[in-house]
A = this chain, B = another copy of it.
Amino acid sequence: MTGEEPLDAVDAKLLLALADEPRAPVMALSQRLGLSRNTVQARLGKLERRGALQSFERRIDPAALGYPMSAVITTRVTQRRLEEVADALSRIPEVVEVDGLSGDTDLLVRVVAVDADDLYRIAGQVLASPGVERTSTALVMRRLVGHRLAPLLERSAERPGSPAD
């Protein structure tokens, strides 16, 4: 068991509605879903308590903030120093995301930058972080599919049970 039961169809529909109108008042949502205001409010509260909603920061477009350039830096790290490295990386403001991976590369570091020079500087900082052995920087030239979850939400919204049955 995952500890929390996965969301049900109603939750999925609620999230879809929110995806469409993020700042929609509860009233609008309840009408849209054909549920009572009470229910929607309870569901929303449960979603938040459950931690199903991540930080609002994820919605902010770095480009609009003045960082139009984005890159992924795959890094190889001295074993057993992952924590330390992650900590060092988190101190670089332009590092927006770090994932620990299995396989050849240990870390996937996502950074944003103002321009090419800026990116060069940041990549240097990543490489200079204690514990980092080797890095490889790849520019994000184009966002082919923006982060989306709607397809999975729609699946959940239709089926009653768990996502994969």
Which residues of chain A in 91-148 are interfacial with respect to chain B, using CB atoms and an 8 Å cutoff? 93-105, 107-108, 110, 112, 114-115, 118, 136-148
Q: Which of B6, B59, B118 contacts A53 (CB 8 A)?
A: B59
How many copies of the chain does the oligomer comprise?
2
A141–B89 alpha-carbon span in the complex (Å): 17
Q: Tell me if A's interface is mostly helix, strand, loop or mixed.
A: mixed
**A interface residues (Cβ-Cβ under 8 A, vs B):** 2, 4, 6-7, 12, 15, 18-19, 22-23, 47, 50-68, 70, 72, 82, 86, 89-90, 93-105, 107-108, 110, 112, 114-115, 118, 136-153, 155-156, 162-164
9 closest residue pairs by CB, A with B: A6-B66, A52-B64, A93-B151, A86-B144, A98-B145, A66-B163, A100-B142, A98-B144, A58-B58
